[in-house]
Amino acid sequence: MSYTPRVDDYVIWNTTPQTFKGWVYFKCEDYITIEISVKDKPDELVNFHKKIHCLLLCFRENWNELEYVKNRREEEDSYKAQEYRYADVQ
C-alpha cells in the first residue's frame, strides 16, 4: 500500500545515510516540505513572522520512502491552523 502524505502528518523519511522526522508543512502535486525544526526569531524586524522554520523538500518520487506516524488534526480535537497560512492542497 502506498502512502500519500497530507499536511499535518508526522512522517519519518528514511534516506541513506540519514533519517529525518517532522511535520508535513506544505503539499503540492510535485513535492512536499517537511518541517524538521522551528525556533524563535532573534529579532523583531518583522512582527508578522515570529518563528524560523527549517523545511526539507521531498519530491513525489521519494514519497515511497516516507513512514506515516500520526496526524496532528486527528490527535488534537481543538487543532487550529496557523493564522495566515495558505489553504492546503489536497
Q: Are 57 and 33 in contact (CB under 8 A)?
A: yes
Q: Are 10 and 71 in contact (CB under 8 A)?
A: yes
pLDDT at 11: 96
pLDDT at 90: 46
Question: Residue 59 pairs with which residues in a beta bridge?
Answer: 31
Which residues are CB-neighbours of 85 under 8 A, at least 6 positions away?
A: none
pLDDT at 83: 55
In the chain, domain spans = 9-75
pLDDT at 87: 55
pLDDT at 41: 82
Please list the pLDDT of the chain residue by residue as tens digits (90 residues).
578 999 999 999 998 789 999 999 999 999 999 999 998 887 766 677 778 889 999 999 999 999 999 998 876 554 555 555 555 554
